[in-house]
A = this chain, B = another copy of it.
Amino acid sequence: MSKPYVYFFGNSNAEGDPARKDILGGKGSGLAEMTKLSIPVPPGFTISTEVCSYFYEHNNHYPEGLEKEVLTKLSFVEEVLGTKFGDIKNPLLVSVRSGARISMPGMMDTILNLGLNDKTIEGLIAQTQKERFAYDSYRRFIQMYSNVVLDIDIHKFEALLSAKKKKAKVTQDVELNAQALKELVGEYKQLVKKTTGKEFPQDPFEQLWGAIGAVFHSWNSPRAITYRKIHHIPSQWGTAVNVQAMVFGNLGDDSATGVAFTRDPSTGDKEVFGEYLLNAQGEDVVAGIRTPSPLLGDAPSSHSLEKTMPKACKELCDFFERLEKHYKDMQDVEFTIQKGKVWILQTRRGKRSAKAAVRIAFDMVQEKMISQEEAILRIEPAQLEQLLHPMIDPEAPKEVIAKGLAASPGAVSGEVVFSPETAEKWVEGGHKVILVRAETSAEDIHGMHVASGILTARGGMTSHAAVVARGMGKCCIVGCHDIQIDSEHKYMMVNDKKVHAGDLITINGTTGEVYLGVIPTVQPKLDQYYEKLMTWVDEVRSIRVRANADTPHDAKVARQFGAEGIGLCRTEHMFFDPERIDVMREMILADTEETRRTALSKLLPMQKQDFMGIFKEMKGYPVTIRLLDPPLHEFLPQTSKDLAELAHKINVSFSKIKQKAKGLSEFNPMLGFRGCRLGVAYPEIYEMQVQAIMEAACEMVQKEKMDLIPEIMIPIVGDVKEFDLIKERVVKICKEVLEKYKLHIDYKVGTMIELPRAALTADQIAKSAEFFSFGTNDLTQTTFGISRDDSGHFLPKYIETGIYDVDPFVSIDQKGVGRLIEMAVELGRKTTPDLKIGICGEHGGDPSSVEFCYRTKLNYVSCSPYRVPVARLAAAQAVLKK
């Protein structure tokens, strides 16, 4: 690493290159950029991310010379402002903030008012003539610093504050007078001494280095690690530290602080969306403790900034426009107005809902700000999914029990939980939960991550809960004042209703409404912006997108989302239908081929009906049907009681059923008697299925005069001879059916590639198989030697400790499983150059996996219907990124 370690900004000049976010971090880059754009930014300097990396690589030591550089740059700040750090007459106060390459709410955010001590406070009082303000700043500083740097529980300070308010017989912080605050400062300092055994540091430089160290340390806090894990941020990136002169939004009613999005982050509407608090510091807005007022609005009752400080408001809006034009993207801006003067403290790419992302991208193309390709790259594919999920059925009867701010759209039902820990535990136990909190903070991230939805009692549209939930694409309502939470006794009062932990509620993040119980949902109507954007997407992408769908209903949804065929139709789910399962069981318990065939002949018309329905919905798009895959014992009842019932129902002795069930049970069913191994042992099962498929196809061709491409897929193939044996029978049945109907239908017989051996011998298998489809779930399980069902004991820890970069069941493990896929593609196409190859594991809807599939030259990906648009977008982005 080379110097400089520290980059000054101020006076329309910045040492750092704003393009180097890797050095300056996101916040530092924005400050440098804005300074260069002559937007009023308090001067300061950025300690580069490289120092952070150095710090961790050298056992928490700073590089030689850092201290000197910091002092030099600090003197530049002093020069601009004519103040001096630690000066008792006109002291320079600074904020210290972390700033990683990507905004990370999991990290230390801010220490304000740094530089205050028992002496400099006198200077601050002298300069501002506001004693109350000065002591309030000092006590806030002690509180923040002690918490963040000295690691003292914040509640201890809150308790002293509460006691002080009680003593003064007031309820609000602002009601405390200067004397009380001065006393509080003394009590705070005593608390520090009692807890740490040392005085609260009075030396501003000691304070400064303490804060800088705390920022670096916060990079590896559990919260930050969790956040990085969720968002796949490499730990070696490190954070920068921004030290910046303080400006004050709390110097009176001519001062204010706020945050704003340059467009509506929820809808994408092209209008500034912001909130502010009069006479407050920035942290008050973000924390959501006071509910802020909107920036714009001229209604008589409005407390908008537009009305209270029209000039500042206009100036602010001009800055927003300049910033947006400069960055060509919607910005999330923090500002402070100090005695009427507007300061911009931060600008960054604004987080937005999927709906807003689409709308903004579309609008910016219209505004000629960005190209269609850029618009496509602007949408995060995973986020798109939230657009597509069900919304509350407008026809359904429902009672609104509460209403808050619609912070992140969608509609979900789940059991109420009041702590992130409970959320995690219940979700692990298979429940869907709604996390209900007074407000959220970074400590809640892990709970928010697992919850289906989030509901908070306090906070605005830019509060922590709102911002994080939108980022996660999670349904969220904030500022729902109708609820009062008693988290100790695990219930909440919703107006006069008592809702306990575990009770079911439904939240509507699109409207902000809360309902009791589970309210049915319907498919959302996708707006014109989405439709238009997806036509651009489809023009760009080259890889096809199909859906995994087992029923005509799924097939229909898949078509609505733009699926170009079915990549995986699992036939076994069809057997779990209550009226079919007993016939299936009869088949399984049969002793002879003959009795097995009798049972199968009852299943034939049912399967045929299923396939007709699916063919009909798919209107000529290819449909890949996988023959029976799971081991037969999965279809049998699990308990003795249920087995006895079954024995009675199908008139077989209990002991026989029990013996048969025992005979079928397996030590490792994943690696057992399943897939084509069943097909080899009991040819009649696959014969029935193939007959059902082909008869369904023939009848659709006859009745509906439609084109059809049935693709019959053999699972768990490990050797070409295995495939050949089954293919021969499949072809025989197909021929017989086609002859019976006197029809010609093109059909294909192909295979899953879901075992390492299939991938390794793909050149052989391609001699017979007419298509490949990667079953990446099983391929991941066998390649890693991990049973997904049993991985709970160790996989979370593996991801947490970074042994695995990503969960290999979510995103294709490109080094291992991906290598096998590449080999199989290469070997298969060596035999058959135009071999059709797809993927139908859950990875098919994962954006980075889609990109991998594109690079590996697959013909299509197949995923769950709701992820089809995600995959389409990811596929287009893959092309553009290349």
Among residues of B, the one whose C-beta sits closest to the C-beta of A792 is B673
| Chain B residues whose CB sits within 8 angstroms of the CB of A797 once the complex forms | 680-681
Query: Do B719 and A804 touch (CB < 8 A)?
Result: yes
Which one of B673, B725, B760, B813 contacts A757 once the chains associate, using CB atoms below 8 Å?
Answer: B813
Closest approach, in angstroms, between the C-beta of A873 and any C-beta of chain B? 30
In whole Å, how far is A804's beta carbon from the nearest beta carbon of chain B? 7
**Beta-carbon contacts of A759-780 to B below 8 Å, as 1s and 0s?**
0110010000000000000100
Select which of B681, B716, B803 is within 8 A of A722 by beta carbon: B803
| Chain B residues near A757 (CB-CB < 8 A) | 783-785, 813, 816-817
Q: How far is the CA of A804 from the CA of B718 in the complex (A)?
A: 10
Q: When the two chains form the complex, which single residue of B669, B754, B789, B791 contacts A790, counting CB atoms closer than 8 Å?
A: B669
Are B755 and A671 neighbours in the complex by a CB distance under 8 Å?
A: no
Establish whether residues B793 and A760, one from each chain, have CB atoms under 8 Å apart when the complex forms.
no
In the complex, the answer to whether B760 meets A819 with C-beta atoms within 8 Å is: yes
- A798 interfacial contact with B, CB 8 Å: yes
Report B-chain residues with C-beta under 8 Å of the C-beta of A669: 667-668, 790
List residues of A (6-38) whose CB comes within 8 Å of B's CBs: none
Contacts A794-B681, A816-B756, A820-B760 given; indicate if A801 touches B670 (C-beta within 8 A). Answer: no
Which of A757, A782, A791, A819 counts the most B-chain CB atoms under 10 A from its CB? A757
Question: What are the residues of chain B within 8 A of A782 when measuring CB–CB?
Answer: 671, 756, 782-783, 785
Q: B815 contacts A781, CB within 8 Å?
A: no
Query: Interface range on chain A: under 10, 10 to 19, 20 to 34, or 35 or more?
Result: 35 or more
Given contacts A722-B803, A790-B668, A755 and B781 within 8 Å (CB-CB): no
Q: Does A372 contact B (CB under 8 A)?
A: no
Instruction: Enumerate chain B residues within 8 angstroms of A725, measured Cβ to Cβ.
Output: 801, 803
Residues of B within 8 A of A790 (CB): 666-669, 671-673
* C-alpha gap A302/B754 in the complex (Å): 69
Closest approach, in angstroms, between the C-beta of A789 and any C-beta of chain B?
A: 4
CB distance from A787 to the nearest CB of B (A): 4
The residue that A820 contacts in the complex, of B671, B681, B756, B793, with Cβ under 8 A, is B756
| CB of A325 within 8 Å of the partner chain | no
| Complex interface residues of chain A between 721 and 747 (CB less than 8 A to chain B) | 721-722, 725
Q: Is the pair A670, B671 in contact by a Cβ cutoff of 8 Å?
A: yes
How far, in Å, is A778 (CB) from chain B's closest CB? 7
**A663 shortest CB reach to chain B, Å:** 9
A186 within 8 A of B: no
In whole angstroms, what is the CA distance A721 to B662 when docked? 40
Judge whether A803 and B667 touch: CB under 8 Å: no
A802 at the interface (CB under 8 A from B): yes
Cβ-based interface call for A786 (8 A): yes
Contacts of A680 in B (CB 8 A): 794, 797-798, 801, 803
Q: How far, in angstroms, from A570 to B772 measured CA to CA in the complex?
A: 40
Kindly provide the distance from the CB of A837 to the nearest chain B CB, expressed in whole angstroms: 19
Check A677 for interface membership: any CB of B closer than 8 A.
yes
The answer to whether B820 touches A789 (Cβ under 8 A) is no
**Inter-chain contact B787/A671, CB cutoff 8 Å:** yes
> CA of A704 to CA of B666 in the docked complex: distance in angstroms?
49
| Contact A787–B719 (Cβ < 8 Å) | no
| A787 lies within 8 A of B718 (CB) | no
Whether A785 and B718, one on each chain, are in contact in the complex, defined by CB atoms closer than 8 angstroms, is: yes
Please pick, from B677, B755, B793, the residue contacting A677 in the complex, using a CB distance under 8 A: B793
The verdict on A670 contacting B668 (CB below 8 Å), with A785-B716, A803-B719 known, is yes
In the assembled complex, the Cα of A823 lies from the Cα of B669 at a distance in Å of 29
Nearest CB in chain B to that of A719: its residue: B803
Query: With A and B bound together, what is the CA distance between A789 and B666 in angstroms?
Result: 8
- Which chain B positions have C-beta within 8 A of A719? 803-804, 816
Of A680, A756, A764, A803, chain B has the most CB atoms within 10 Å of the CB of: A756
Report which of B671, B760, B761, B817 forms a contact with A671, defined as CB distance below 8 A.
Answer: B671
List residues of chain B with CB within 8 A of the CB of A718: 784-786, 816
Smallest CB–CB gap between A839 and chain B, Å?
Answer: 18
Q: A756-B816, A817-B757, A819-B760 are in contact. Are A787 and B681 (CB under 8 A)?
A: no
Rounded to whole angstroms, the CA-CA distance of A234 and B816 in the bound complex is: 36
**Distance, CA A277 to CA B778, complexed state (A):** 64
For A668, give its contact among B677, B784, B787, B801 (CB under 8 Å): B787
Cα–Cα, bound, A523→B815 (Å):
49
Least distance between A815 CB and chain B CB atoms (Å): 6
**How far is A813 from B721 in the complex, measured between Cα atoms in Å?**
14
CB <8 Å contact, A781 and B813: no
Give me 24 A-to-B residue pairs in the complex whose CB atoms sit less than 8 angstroms apart, sorted by A's number: A667-B789, A668-B668, A668-B669, A668-B787, A668-B789, A671-B671, A671-B781, A671-B785, A672-B793, A673-B793, A673-B794, A677-B794, A680-B794, A681-B794, A718-B786, A721-B802, A725-B803, A756-B756, A756-B783, A756-B785, A757-B783, A760-B816, A761-B815, A782-B783
A interface residues, Cβ below 8 angstroms from B = 666-673, 677, 680-681, 716, 718-719, 721-722, 725, 754-757, 760-761, 764, 778, 781-787, 789-791, 793-794, 797-798, 801-804, 813, 815-817, 819-820
Known: A667-B787, A672-B787, A757-B813. 5 other contacts (CB 8 A): A667-B670, A672-B791, A718-B784, A757-B817, A761-B816
Rank and list the top 9 A-B pairs by shortest CB-CB distance, nearest first: A668-B787, A671-B787, A757-B816, A672-B790, A673-B793, A755-B785, A756-B756, A666-B790, A668-B668
